[in-house]
Amino acid sequence: MSGRPKLTVRGIVKSFENDDGVLRVLDGISFTVREGEFLSIVGPSGCGKTTLLKIVAGLLEPDEGEVMIDGEVVGIGHSRVGYIFQQESLFPWRTVRENIEFGLEIRGVPPEERRQLSDRMIDLIRMRGLENHLPHEISGGQARKTELARSLVTSPDILVADEGLSNLDAQTRNYLQEEFLRIWQETGSTVIFVTHNVDEAVFMSDRILLLSNVPARIIDEYVVKIPRPRKRASPQCLEYRARILDTLRVEQEKALARQGA
């Protein structure tokens, strides 16, 4: 990981209309992600984490603020970010290989080059022999790895994952955390990872940002100074976990107090 900023987010504000008027979801969000860094974002449910990721990925336009990649301002519709969605998003009628190649097809990459690139991804995610299987013929963990490969095959500047390991049993989730980290280290990708799971954030991240309830602000930041590979139940991991949960608990108590006022 270099010290060079890969992503800069400045003063992002976003509001949505609802039955009660206008709800401000993001309230001046600013942060920087270094090249090759693994950054996690943690916060209460409904605090705007997905909205923030969509703005970074060019899927949603902010009301105020800007997103910069390698010092260049990017806007809605840019294609410099790979996105892993919370819900499984493989096309059921396409094989593993065809799902991985989808973004390449959209970009008009010739078939022979698509094959070479997808071969590389299939080997990276260790699914050689399963490339011609349909999604219903592979496990949930293998489907998640296929989605990761589909996001990486176009060589995005940044990979964002919105609860990318949710809806999995604990054993599969732990395995995929280790696989995700292996692939991140082998590719040198810059990752922004949204999760509700504090243990997951501590185990995987270089740095963790905590968001408040809406309107979301960054209320704390933790640099995880634990050597890799990490042990989930180590005293160091448990100490970070306790500190983060304490901060989130205080934030939740503030939100409940405001609701009761």
3-state SS track over 110-121: CHHHHHHHHHHH
Span 199-216, mean pLDDT?
Answer: 96
Q: In what order do the strands lie in the sheet with 207-211?
A: 81-84, 158-162, 190-194, 38-42, 207-211, 218-223
pLDDT digits (tens, 9 = 90+) for 50-69: 999 999 999 999 999 999 99
pLDDT for residue 37: 98
Listed in sequence order, the residues at least 6 apart from 60 whose beta carbon sits closer than 8 Å to its beta carbon are 14, 51, 54, 76
Q: How confident is the model at residue 45 (pLDDT cuts 50, 70, 90)?
A: confident
Question: pLDDT by residue (tens digit) across 80-108?
Answer: 999 998 878 899 999 999 999 999 999 99
Is the pLDDT at 260 greater than 80? The verdict is no
Q: What is the pLDDT of residue 11?
A: 98
pLDDT at residue 165 greater than cutoff 80: yes
pTM, two decimal places: 0.92
Mean pLDDT, residues 200-218 taken together: 96
Work out the average pLDDT over 189-206: 96
Q: What share of the chain is helix, strand, coil (3-state, %, to 5)?
A: 40, 25, 35
Domain contains 248: yes
Q: Which of 155, 178, 193 is the last residue of a domain?
A: 155
pLDDT single digits (tens) 225-250: 999 999 999 999 999 999 999 999 98
At 166 the pLDDT is: 81
Residue 85 domain-assigned (yes or no): no
Distance, CA of 122 to CA of 130 (rounded, Å): 9
**Residues 49 and 168 occupy one common structural domain:** yes
> Which of 155, 190, 211 is a domain's end point?
155
153's CB contacts (< 8 A; 6+ apart) are 100, 101, 103, 104, 117, 118, 120, 121
Cβ 34 vs Cβ 60: under 8 Å? no
Does residue 11 lie within any of the structural domains?
no
The percent of residues above 70 in pLDDT, for the chain, comes to: 98
- Output the pLDDT for position 261: 54
Residue 9's φ and ψ, nearest 5 degrees, are -115, 125
Same domain, 177 and 226: yes
| Domain shared by 216 and 256, yes or no | yes
Residues 191 and 255 in one domain: yes
Range of the domain at 125: 90-155
